[in-house]
Amino acid sequence: MSLPKQRDPQGPYRVVVVCLGNICRSPMAEKVLRADLERAGLGDRVEVTSSGTGDWHVGGAMDPRAASTLRVHGYFTEHTARQFRPSDLEQADLVLAMDLDNHDEVSTAVVEDGPDHGFDPSRLRLFRSFAPGTGPNPEVPDPYYGGDDGFTAVLNMIEAAAKGLTDELDRDLGPED
């Protein structure tokens, strides 16, 4: 799968990860992807943010179970939840939804607000579509209403997708000049 071209070749490649409340899946994906990009030497060339389609948790911290799961696996956990805004489309090179419902929410924003923001709908993908061998369901399920084991399962899915995306970004962006 090829990545959309960088909108501003002089700036960083901008990735926005989106879930429902921005307290579980998307901040976990943001932290894991940032760590992978740093290890690959791309940390200063790719900017990763996250947001939620809902506004319930704006300004709040990451879910404690998500933060604990990340911490146990060596990832940073500092986070303040924010809501996805159609204006995010103006600068995003790639918007990654964690599931089909949030993909649809962002698609609606693209249709309603896209022409004003110049967003190409092909820049919207499912995050897990970058994981090798994902199979027929490329969604990352919401662990919010389950137990701790759900957060571990989600982290495993996120790590696989983040590695796949990092590999593609490394190939597409090439070595620094």
Question: Annotated catalytic residue: which of 88, 93, 99, 142?
Answer: 142
Is 128 assigned a catalytic role? no
- The catalytic residue among 14, 24, 25, 63 is 25
Distance CA 77, CA 64 (A): 9
* Catalytic residue status for 85: no
What burial letters (b/e) apply to 2-34, b meaning 16+ CB within 10 Å?
Answer: ebbebbeeeebbbbbbbbbbbbbbbbbbbbbbb
Distance CA 63, CA 41 (A): 29
Select which of 14, 19, 65, 125 is catalytic.
19
Q: What CA–CA distance (Å, rounded) separates 88 from 156?
A: 27
Is 142 a known active-site residue?
yes
Active site members:
19, 25, 142
